[in-house]
Amino acid sequence: MNESDFHVIANATLGVMFETLERADAAGEIDVEFQDGVMTIELEDGRQLIVSKHTPSRQLWLSSPVSGGLHFSSDAAEWKLADGRTLAGILSAELRSLANIEVKF
């Protein structure tokens, strides 16, 4: 994937995730910000999950208090780890565990 395609796909993914999280958090359990290719999810207790673009590797990176740092590559359909786990699946599970928020991307 070339750099231009990466930015289009990554920005679209992050934008959809941001909008989905904004709708899913009706109770205000999290604070979500998205700018300059970085989505920050702050929990009530101050812990953060960060999803960001890493242009040199053409990956989305997740930094989480649960799973640490993970690097996801696009297979044109989803952002996945080498073992097949998806960014959407891991992020959903961690938000359920950390903030009791049910979200499906």
Query: CB under 8 Å to 61, separation ≥6 — which residues?
Result: 50, 51, 52, 53, 54, 69, 70, 71, 72
Task: Identify the structural domains of the chain with CATH numbers, from first to last.
Answer: 3-98 (3.30.920.10)
Residue 34 is predicted with a pLDDT of 94
Q: What is the value of pTM for the model shown?
A: 0.91
Residues in the chain: 105
Residue 90 is predicted with a pLDDT of 97
Residue 70 is predicted with a pLDDT of 98
Q: Please list the ranges in the chain whose pLDDT falls under 70.
A: none
